[in-house]
Structure 1
Amino acid sequence: MIDPALQEELDSVPDYDRFATVDEIAAALTRLAAGHSRIASLRRVGTSRLGEPILCLTVGGGPRHALVGAMPHPNEPIGGLTVVHLATRLCRDPALLRSTGHTWHIVGCLDPDGTRLNEGWFAGPFTKTRYGRHFYRPAGDEQVEWTFPFAYKRAYFDRVMPETLALMRLIDETRPSFMTTLHNSEMGGAFFYLSRPVPALHAVLRALPGRYGVPLHAGEPEHPSVRELDEAVYLTPRMEDFYDYVEALGQDAAEQIGGGASDSYAARYGTLSLTAELPYWRDPAAGDRSPAGAAYDELIRAQAAHLRETFAVLDGTMSAVAGDLTARSPFIRASRFFVPLLSEMAAAAEQRADEPGNDRPATVAERQSCRETTHSARLRFGGMLLRALEGELAIGNGTAAVRKCTRRLAEVYAAWCAEADAETPGETIPIRDLVAIQYGGILAGAAHA
């Protein structure tokens, strides 16, 4: 399903032993612009909230426009290497550039402030524990990907961040026929989102991970409202659909929803948008559709119980130190956003378990993805709250409550890490393979736009 020309191009991806930092990505794009000034130019298209330049490299002069942005979520750094490789190949191979028929607009890092807070694990070792202890994901209203203007029923959002505004302006300026903001997941198999069905492209996307021994995701979708177009290929979820699903559960959808996403914003220009979700750790169970020996509704109820337990630990910790915190920490802002969502996720899972038809036999992939949801929540959000408390200690705010809660959460967190390693073992996927899958998806997506 992968044509020979694309296969040959995939072989151009070099080996990597680490992910690129914000400074390294900016330096690479700067060198390309200086060395290929006849076809490439670098400009500043925005500024982060902490004053970091947001840079865009434009390459070529094709009649259509392609827009590629790395790291809209700062804990997802595969895209930093992917955009540098894409830009390098387009600058150095005129035949490849002409064959795409596009002018390329490549943003090296959409959230430089947040990405810097993840760089502690970029050089490895690539263990779940190190990842979680250096993890940062902004609160929902501070994420580039989820802060586009949005208005639907009782939900209204217009607090557009400077980083989001930079991407909005690029979309409006270029009206891209193809766009991708580069994401990745953590465990399990690979899967993709498309803003509209493109069957010929589905086949390429499904084939790419297998070339590198990465299984296709066969477990739970990221959200029950997501519609599957093909095996491991999903229709990009609209925030309106998410709102309707949450509202139907009897929950306050307006409280859970912030802004819209980049692909919804670009849809006004007929843009084909692609998202490639790739794991760091390979898990063969992610693609195993054989029976798990348990009922699906039982797995969902067990997941709900684990999420409630996790919520109780983290919420109890936050309540115990609420009056003692002094730092204006992005880690505590993120914790205040994500920890309550664990309770909402548990409630949604409990209701879903009672839906007709969910007493069916579960697959191994579904069981594994339920476990991964629990472990991901613990390692991500427990790790961020620990970083928030350690930050308080680092500035001398060692009150009795802060010291006690830091020590207790660290002990619980160590147990969570050990359980995650035992229940969701995974082999670290070579970074080169992940970059190649993203790179191939970009070239195939642009060809089918």
Structure 2
Amino acid sequence: MTDPDYLRRVLARVDALDPLASFPGVDALLAAADAVAAAHPDRVRRRRIGRSRLGEPIRAYSVGEGPAVVVIGGVHPNEPIGFHTALRLLSDLAEGAGPAAELPATWHIVPCIDPDGTRLNESWFSDPSDRIAYARGFYRPAPTEQVEWSFPFDYKGIVFDDPMPEAQAVMRLLDETGPALVAGLHNAELGGVYYYLSAGETAAIPALHAIAEHLEIPLDRGEPEFDGVEPLADAVYPALSSRAIVDVLDELGVEPASHVVSGGMADYAGRHDAAMFVAELPYWTHADSADASPTTLAYAEILERRARQLDELDAVLSEALDRAEPHLRIDSQLRRAAVAFVRMMPAMGEEVRGRAAREDPSRLATAAELFSNADHVRMFRLRFGSILARALRAETAAGGAAPQVRTALARLDDHLERWYDEARSVTGLRALPIERLVGVQYGTLLAVAEVSLNARGAEVPA
């Protein structure tokens, strides 16, 4: 397990983080990282590891000596908590300060792996506490354009061999360094913190719980992201790979190819026997997301309700896209993402309905499950409705929108305003202090790195 003295030093460091109220955009983030490198040329090595799809350089910053630990920020461009984590880690290492600098590792830090996608989210970075502003400016790439899920894959008849340039940059970095540990800096949206962790690093689990408790960030006890993935501990799940998801879907009798089309970062890290770690932090929380007490409602009934609501959402979004798509002229990231997510909606409803059919009808849902199932629908309405509206609005702003596009947008906007009002009406929702979220991500990363390095024979100072 994590050395108690080291954990105390980690907690002291995360307690000392300065208050944070916003997230840096791409330019500010990279300027800050470059400034650290320039101030410490004897300790920090900066190099380009690739380019984005639009041609922007992607840089890694390397510090330290020992087994490699690779840290990737901005893996999903709507998840910027890790930008602060990457900068704090880089600064502490460059200055030789704090518990990060004590670890005998060579750290390779990529502050932002998807600058193109991140720029499409920057409108809400100045006030991330506003969930509606977040929704209006939301962008998440189509699944095959997500860095996390754009790695080579060949398993059980599913083959993918066209990784995007950003994923190729990660592949080069992993091939070059042969890391002991790879950490993706992710975050969730609403609820509590949960983790993905390789089985060999389970000794870090007590520290994962302790750091979240210390910083008063609740554990998420609601619905897991993927059905059939058994937790390693409370709010801790096995590191997620496409291979594992395919196996789970096979066991559940679900056709894997309708859900998995490519490899994940964990699949590629596995080629190097690297451990994986992800801390998923929410922007907002609600007391119900951590409430494991039973309700009077059957869990299967809650899932059925969610499936019906997803079907209703599918009908609204598909009607808008079917009307507009033949007349869309701008091939953009927004358009490709909107089309991909809308066309995925039927499978989402079917998957949840299949889960309901497999559940024991007498099993009662917990308060956390009730809340998270309802909020998953709310999240998809806000995310996918908003991203489709942004794509249609881009056509109108360019001055080339056909009447069918304008009609589809007007009808969709009516639904969106109702969904925004419904999201505003949720009582008890509160934004979490950003510095505490960064503290959990930073602190747990150090705790897992300490365990991982110890397991590989590196001498970690007591």
Aligned residues: 448
Q: SS state of the match for residue 341, structure 1?
A: helix
From 312, 320, 325, the equivalent of 1:317 is 320
Q: SS state of the match for residue 228, structure 1?
A: coil
| Aligned 8 A contact 2:243 2:263 in 1 | no
Paired with 1:336 and 1:235, the residues of 2 have a C-alpha distance of: 31
1:78 partner amino acid: I
Paired with 1:241 and 1:431, the residues of 2 have a C-alpha distance of: 32
1:32 partner amino acid: V
Matched, 1:256 2:259: yes
Q: Aligned in 2, Cα 1:255/1:360: closer, same or farther, shift over 3 Å?
A: closer
Matched, 1:16 2:20: yes
Which blocks of at least 5 consecutive residues in structure 2 are unaligned?
453-462
From 77, 84, 88, the equivalent of 2:87 is 84
Task: Compare 262-271 and 163-172 and name the one that shifted more.
Answer: 262-271
| Aligned 8 A contact 2:60 2:110 in 1 | yes
Q: Aligned in 2, Cα 1:225/1:197: closer, same or farther, shift over 3 Å?
A: farther
| 1:385 equivalent in structure 2 | 388
**1:43-89 superposed Cα distances (whole Å, 9 cap, x missing partner):** 111100101110111112x2211110101100000011110011001
Matched, 1:124 2:130: no
| Aligned 8 A contact 1:197 1:235 in 2 | no
| 1:222 equivalent in structure 2 | 225
1:254 partner amino acid: A
| 2:417 equivalent in structure 1 | 414
Matched, 1:427 2:430: yes
| 1:183 equivalent in structure 2 | 186
**Post-superposition shift, 1:248?**
5.5
Task: Compare 289-298 and 396-405 and name the one that shifted more.
Answer: 396-405
Q: Aligned in 2, Cα 1:96/1:219: closer, same or farther, shift over 3 Å?
A: closer
From 1, 6, 13, the equivalent of 2:10 is 6
| 2:460 equivalent in structure 1 | none
**Post-superposition shift, 1:173?**
0.9
1:153 partner amino acid: K
Paired with 2:254 and 2:17, the residues of 1 have a C-alpha distance of: 46
TM-score (norm 1): 0.96
**Post-superposition shift, 1:431?**
0.9
Q: SS state of the match for residue 326, structure 2?
A: coil
1:379 partner amino acid: L
Q: Aligned in 2, Cα 1:425/1:305: closer, same or farther, shift over 3 Å?
A: farther
TM-score (norm 2): 0.94
1:19 partner amino acid: F
From 195, 198, 213, the equivalent of 2:198 is 195
Which blocks of at least 5 consecutive residues in structure 1 are unaligned?
none
1:334 partner amino acid: A
Paired with 2:449 and 2:427, the residues of 1 have a C-alpha distance of: 35
From 48, 52, 55, the equivalent of 2:56 is 52
**Post-superposition shift, 1:237?**
2.6
1:165 partner amino acid: Q
Paired with 1:305 and 1:25, the residues of 2 have a C-alpha distance of: 42
Q: Aligned in 2, Cα 1:77/1:424: closer, same or farther, shift over 3 Å?
A: farther
1:323 partner amino acid: P
Paired with 2:134 and 2:445, the residues of 1 have a C-alpha distance of: 26
- Alignment RMSD, CA only? 1.6
Paired with 1:12 and 1:36, the residues of 2 have a C-alpha distance of: 22
2:132 partner amino acid: T
1:10 partner amino acid: V
Structure 1 residue ranges (4+ consecutive) displaced by more than 6 angstroms after TM superposition: none
Paired with 2:13 and 2:131, the residues of 1 have a C-alpha distance of: 32
1:20 partner amino acid: P
